[in-house]
Amino acid sequence: MKIVQAVGWYLPESVGGSEVYVAALARHLAEAGHEVAVAAPDPRHLVEREYEHGGIRVYRYPIPARPTRAEAQGRVTVRGAERFHAWLRREQADVVHCHTFVTGLGLPELGAARSSGARVIVTDHCSSVGFACQRGTMMRWGETVCDGLAEPAKCAACALQARGVPRPAARALGAIPPGVGGRAARVPGPVGTALGMTDLIAWNLERQRRMLAMVDRFVLLTAWAREAALANGAPPDKLALVRLGVAEPAPAPKPPPEVAPTAPPVTVGYLGRLHPIKGVEDLVRAVGSLPAERPIRIEIRGPAEGPDGAACLARLIALAGGDPRIHFGPPVARDDVAELLPRWDLLCCPSLALEGGPTVALEARCAGTPVVGSRIGGLAELVRDDVDGRLVPPGDWRRLAAVLDAVARDPRGTVDRWRRGLPRARSMREVTADCLALYTGRAPGGPAVLHAAGP
């Protein structure tokens, strides 16, 4: 079988959960005897490129670094994406599997894949459940878990508040009828974006409907996301739940607590992008609120990419205020993750978005390192609270501080107890088997759940 994996970013320039997932899936598919290629848009180069990464052929097609508003909103085909369409016609793949929608990988590309005769699968790795959440987090006003229902007035106000518009003004702009907003959106710049937000939400809902009509299966990573898709009218027979897995080689587990009990100071690590939606500021606030004598050490490791990342790092350093318990380290190379996670006593994932993972939480489970994180998204379905880790409300740094305080005072009654309760982590080989069932049409009908046991 000839299979194309299409993803919004790819290795080696970008290293994140989606890229690692696609690389592992491609490798396992190739090992099973299938012909696999990865395709991704490329805003950094002006020409098409092909290279090999991890033994897999990679095709990159150029798109603008500064897309127009219509391109960014998916209303027109992004310049350069027509080269990907032509490439798909030449490849004549049996399956095109798209991973998340970004500029340069959207409905036109799904249409090109369908026109090439391929079976089309989409996996949503973000928190938007396809095109349902313009904010991209599924967090209402950035504070509480959304009910998942997408509506122009409600979603426009929430999306504008995320852009810095005060809530009363955001609500007023959300009251603009979509048709009126569409005409007002012709105003250039941020004003046009704000006036046209309800029209954009209505367009997103139409894109969601068209996407579901195009694909053979729409894959979600959490039960919550699957239920949200159903609530927004997705046909049940188009949906499948396929949870994340750990790529090989997985981190080797540390010795059990009976052999190597956790000793103070307890080391708590954060591993991931430095970005506001990751909630790292809540971790720093929580630690800073603890008494100075608490034996705890925080290690923050991750890239600060782009203006948002740089600004986040600056805020974190300012919040830390020179606290000797808080340490900032360089980003971690992918090959070094398996060595780092067993060294930490706890992994903290204080996310403010309903992620499908994060993958690092699964990797920590393999390493024998419990997770403390937000009670949302994949974490809420992975961690059993106070059995193999702890869950706190997203954004509640005081609750997080209480957990860290308890951990520092009694590591054997908390961390070591959670270590004993850690179950086996799901593997990318299992994910690959589930994907092959979708590719060949062997997966059951209805809102299928494929080997997706939770905690």
**What is the secondary structure of 167-182 as a DSSP string?**
HHHHHHHHTS-HHHHH
pLDDT at site 402: 98
pLDDT at site 334: 84
Task: Please tell me the distance from the alpha carbon of residue 42 to that of residue 7, in angstroms, as a whole number.
Answer: 11
CA angle at 164 for the pair 168 and 187, rounded to the nearest 5° = 90
Residue 86 identity: A
* CATH number belonging to domain 266-420: 3.40.50.2000
pLDDT in tens, 1-13: 999 999 999 999 8
CATH topology assigned to domain 2-133+201-246+428-449: Rossmann fold (3.40.50)
pLDDT at site 305: 84
- Average of pLDDT values for 380-397? 97
pLDDT at site 447: 54
Per-residue pLDDT at 409 exceeds 80: yes
Task: Please tell me the distance from the alpha carbon of residue 123 to that of residue 97, in angstroms, as a whole number.
Answer: 7
Q: Is residue 213 a contact partner of residue 237, using CB atoms and an 8 Å limit?
A: no
pLDDT band at 455 (very low <50, low <70, confident <90, very high): very low
The pair phi, psi for residue 373, each rounded to 5°, is -160, -175
Task: Please tell me the distance from the alpha carbon of residue 208 to that of residue 395, in angstroms, as a whole number.
Answer: 29
- Average of pLDDT values for 258-275? 96
pLDDT at site 454: 46
Q: Which of 113, 106, 100, 135 is nearest to 17 (CA)?
A: 100
pLDDT at site 443: 73
Q: Is residue 272 a contact partner of residue 447, using CB atoms and an 8 Å limit?
A: no
Q: What is the pTM of this model?
A: 0.92
Residue 352 CB contacts under 8 Å (≥ 6 apart), including other chains: 137, 139, 142, 276, 277, 278, 279, 282, 374, 394, 395
pLDDT in tens, 215-248: 999 999 999 999 999 999 999 999 999 999 998 8
Question: 266-420: same fold as 2-133+201-246+428-449?
Answer: yes
How many CA atoms within 13 Å lie on the side-chain side of 222? 25
Helix residue ranges, H only, 186-340: 189-195, 197-214, 223-231, 280-288, 306-320, 337-340
- Average of pLDDT values for 382-410? 97
pLDDT band at 422 (very low <50, low <70, confident <90, very high): very high
Domain-wise residue ranges, the chain: 2-133+201-246+428-449, 147-199, 266-420
pLDDT at site 453: 44
**217 three-class SS:** strand
Six-digit token string for 91? 């490849």
Three state DSSP letters for 141-159? CCCEECCCCCCHHHHHHHH
pLDDT at site 444: 64
DSSP secondary structure of 415-442: HHHHHHT--PPPBHHHHHHHHHHHHTT-
The pair phi, psi for residue 148, each rounded to 5°, is 90, -10
* pLDDT, averaged across the chain: 94
pLDDT at site 14: 85
Task: Please tell me the distance from the alpha carbon of residue 244 to that of residue 231, in angstroms, as a whole number.
Answer: 23
pLDDT in tens, 151-193: 999 999 999 999 999 999 999 999 999 999 999 988 999 999 9
Q: Which of 400, 383, 349 is nearest to 455 (CA)?
A: 383
Q: Which of 321, 307, 320, 301 is nearest to 276 (CA)?
A: 307
pLDDT in tens, 29-69: 999 999 999 999 999 999 999 999 999 999 999 999 999 99
- Average of pLDDT values for 127-133? 95
pLDDT at site 452: 46
pLDDT at site 335: 85
pLDDT at site 249: 82
pLDDT at site 446: 53
